Amino acid sequence: MVSKKYIKLKLTGKTKDEILEELVEVLNAGGALNDKDEFLKVVKQREATSSTGLEEGIAIPHGKTTAVKIPAVAFGRSEGVDFDSLDGEKSKLFFMIAAPEDATDSHIETLSKLTSKLLDDELRERLEKASTEDEVIAILNEEKSEDKSSKENVIKKDGFVIAVTACPVGIAHTYMAADSLVNKGKELGVEIKVETNGSVGVKNELTPEDIKRATGVIVAADKTIDMDRFA
């Protein structure tokens, strides 16, 4: 979904809207869109719900609509733009996700894999320094092996935590939040199960047995989910 034609290493936009328009143009020029104006409208509607400016200089604007011809991800890099990010810092690395209305499970899984990679500090630093489009693609395609030695040193703690993640569109934040929680669980030695409420439906659904056994619940969502089951 990320190819050289969807990469722009030097974005010129100075505002949030200018960056969005620039990335939409990149996708349109690459042949990913049916209707660039409609796609831009959907992306801006998503931003109005809650900003896709995350922490650590990353922003992941996205939209799921019939205005998208083929699933694609545009990557752009800037010297820093105010993107209403969660940590108040300027955003430098932009990934604009274009998902068709009928996006398949495999499309969503690929996108969730991409967004989870962005939790890696080292990967983000390398993306900031990459000098060519090919280098960007190579970095994103790398598979990182788990550090078993650090995993073995974690002391297993008692208790079991359950969690639910969900966002309005369900193709980026839902899975980043889930991966972040799972990674923190591994780091702390805490057993955790995370249910995702994404655009392809509920995955890894929490069972009544999970809920009964849990010592704590984390809800990371900005859309309505079934809370009665946790009563």
Catalytic position from the list 167, 169, 177, 190: 167
CA dihedral 108, 4, 45, 128 (to 10 degrees): 100
State the pairing for strand pair 191-198/72-81. unpaired
Which residues 6+ apart lie within 8 Å of 51 measured at CB? 59, 83, 84, 85, 86
Coil, helix or strand at residue 65:
strand
Residue 132: its pLDDT value, please?
Answer: 96
Instruction: Identify the CATH homologous superfamily for domain 148-230.
Output: Response regulator (3.40.50.2300)
Q: Enter the pTM of the model.
A: 0.76
Which residues 6+ apart lie within 8 Å of 3 measured at CB? 30, 72, 137
Structure tokens at 80: 């820093």
Which residues 6+ apart lie within 8 Å of 89 measured at CB? 55, 56, 57
Total residues found in the chain within this entry: 231
Residue 177: its pLDDT value, please?
Answer: 86
Residue 170: its pLDDT value, please?
Answer: 66
- Is 167 known to be catalytic? yes
Residue 147: its pLDDT value, please?
Answer: 54
Strand partners, 165: 196, 220
Residue 157: its pLDDT value, please?
Answer: 84
Residue 86: its pLDDT value, please?
Answer: 79
Contact 62, 72 (CB under 8 A): no
Contact 34, 67 (CB under 8 A): yes
- Is 164 known to be catalytic? no
The residues spanned by each domain of the chain are 4-141, 148-230
The pLDDT tens digits along the chain (231 residues) read 889 999 999 999 999 999 999 999 999 999 999 999 999 999 999 888 878 888 889 998 988 899 999 999 999 999 999 998 878 899 999 999 998 988 766 667 777 778 778 878 899 999 999 999 999 999 998 876 655 545 566 678 888 999 999 887 666 778 888 888 998 898 899 999 999 987 678 889 999 999 999 999 999 988 888 899 998
For tokens 């000098």, name the residue.
131
Residue 202: its pLDDT value, please?
Answer: 86
For the four alpha carbons of 92, 98, 99 and 105, in that order, the dihedral sign comes to negative
| Separation CA 39–CA 62 (nearest Å) | 9
**Reported CATH class of domain 4-141:** alpha beta
Catalytic position from the list 46, 62, 64, 107: 62
DSSP string, 109-144: HHHHHHHHHTT-HHHHHHHHH--SHHHHHHHHH--P
| Separation CA 21–CA 155 (nearest Å) | 48
Question: pLDDT tens digits for 210-229?
Answer: 999 999 999 998 888 889 99
Residue 49: its pLDDT value, please?
Answer: 82
